Amino acid sequence: MSRAATNALKTVAGLAIALTAASIYLIFFVAPAEEQMGIVQKIFYFHVPSAFAMYIGFGCAALGSVMYLVRRSDGWDALAVAGAEVGMLFCLIVLTTGPLWARKAWGHFWTWDPRLTTTLLGALIFAAYLALRSSGDAGEAERRFAAGLAVLALPNLFLIHYSVQRWRGTHPTVITKGGGGLAPQMVPPFICSVVAFTLLAIWLLALRVRMERQHQRASALTMDALRLGLGEDDPCD
Amino acid sequence: MRLKALAAALIAWGSSALAFAQDAGAETAAQSRSTQFVAVRGPQTEHVPGGALLIIAYGIVFVLLLLYVLRLFRLQAKTDETLAQLGERIDRADRAGADGAAEAKRAERG
């Protein structure tokens, strides 16, 4: 990676950390509590940006997988793996913070609402993807099968987003189309959190892509070394 | 005969009374839902602790992010280790190659 790219990555990381700190201040000291739900509504400020970050991660995984199936390039494969991991991280955040809010707002942790169900489905598909890729040096067949799974998950991403508009459910639709919007004092912390989590996702994604590329190169060099007789059990030892 | 009629009448009365009692206890679909909201008396109390749920949620967010960053560090350390091992193997092969060449030269001179 070039020096400029490394510096850009450091800048993104610094901005993400600074904006996350600013978000926490705005959420707890500036944003008012919600009239009906009280203080627990503040979960929303990290829950929704995590969902955006999840879309970024899973979207990159799907894009990388499609391109890998077309071009069979290690770079696209690295993007797919990184996207699946980062998407899963933020999906786990969504699937844990949401039920904690729901316990107070709905009286129970989970309901088979369309958005919750499609999000869980997405998590399960990408869990299968990561399980397939967990062996480290996945072979061509595992890579292709995993890429197929990520492509299969792509329509589900749209279903997650549009499920609240197309089907009846209990999930709130505050900021999406048809929603009532936020109180003016709630907007700055929300925007700050969205920017912070988006930068955080980009930073983690870029770091993970770089690591995956290094891992791919190290694996290729190890194979070359073995081919040249420089393995563990070579006569030089 | 009168006794039988009396018994039949008692059974009929008893069963109808039982059925009436069951009907009286059954709720309609509308009745099974809450039909009114009553204002709280005294200070407002919350049964589900919103503050605790909020702290748990934010705690989980930071723990998950931290765990993922630790995983990235571990992955990086593993790749560094693989590269270091490769470097060692190449160095050993170089040394062995140089020793072999020097020996061959000595043998040629000898």
Q: What pLDDT does A181 receive?
A: 80
Partner residue facing A97 (CB), from B61, B65, B89: B61
Flag whether pLDDT at A3 surpasses 70. yes
Residue B24 has pLDDT above 70, yes or no: no
Residue A227 has pLDDT above 60, yes or no: yes
Q: Say how many CB pairs under 8 Å bridge A and B.
A: 86
For residues A15-26, average pLDDT: 96
Measured between beta carbons, the chain B residues lying within 8 angstroms of A230 are 89-90, 93
Distance between B100 CA and the closest CA of chain A, angstroms: 11
Q: Quick one: average pLDDT of B40-57?
A: 81
pLDDT of residue B110: 65
pLDDT tens figures, A192-226? 999 999 999 999 999 999 999 999 999 888 888 88
d(CA B103, CA B41): 100
Q: Quick: pLDDT tens for B67-89.
A: 999 999 999 999 999 889 888 88
Q: Are A93 and B61 in contact (CB under 8 A)?
A: yes
Q: Residue B21 pLDDT > 90, yes or no? A: no
Residue closest to A215 by CA, chosen among B36, B59, B81, B54? B81
Measured in angstroms, the CA of B25 and the nearest CA of chain A are apart by 28
What is the torsional sign of CA B77, B83, B87, B92? Answer: positive
The per-residue pLDDT for A163 is 87
The answer on pLDDT for A232 being more than 70 is: no
pLDDT of residue B67: 97
What confidence tier does B2 reach under pLDDT thresholds 50, 70, 90?
low
Residues 6+ apart with CB under 8 A from A234: B89, B93
Inter-chain touch B93–A214, beta carbons under 8 Å? no
Q: Is B61 in Cβ contact with A46 (below 8 Å)?
A: yes
**Does B11 touch chain A if contact means CB atoms closer than 8 Å?**
no
pLDDT tens digit sequence for A67-126: 999 999 999 999 999 999 999 999 999 999 999 999 999 889 999 999 999 999 999 999
Confidence of residue A236 (pLDDT cuts 50, 70, 90): very low
Which of A40, A47, A215 has its CB closest to that of B50?
A: A40
> Is A39's CB within 8 Å of B50's CB?
yes
Distance CA A92, CA B73 (A): 20
* Interchain contact B77–A (C-beta under 8 A): no
Poorest-pLDDT segment among A38-47, A133-142, A219-228:
A133-142
Name which of B48, B54, B92 is nearest A42 (Cβ-Cβ).
B54
Mean pLDDT of B20-29: 53
Q: What percent of chain A has pLDDT over 70?
A: 95
Residue A182's nearest CA partner among A26, A49, A50, A32 is A32
Asked if residue B107 has pLDDT above 70, the reply is: yes
Architecture of domain A9-34+42-166+184-227: Up-down Bundle (1.20)
pLDDT at A237: 39
| pLDDT the model gives residue B28 | 59
**A178 versus B72: which is more confidently predicted?**
B72
Task: Find the length of chain A.
Answer: 237
Mean pLDDT of chain A, nearest integer: 90
Whole-number pLDDT of residue B53: 94
Residue A234: pLDDT band (50, 70, 90) is very low
Return the percentage of chain B with pLDDT > 70, whole number.
Answer: 61
| A172 φ, ψ (degrees, to nearest 5) | -65, 150
Of the two residues B25 and A237, the one the predictor is more confident about is B25
Mean per-residue pLDDT, B11-37? 58
Annotated domain spans of chain A: 9-34+42-166+184-227
Contact A40 B92 (CB under 8 A): no
- The residue count of chain B comes to 110
- Interface residue B15 vs chain A (CB under 8 A): no
CB contact under 8 A, A46 and B58: yes
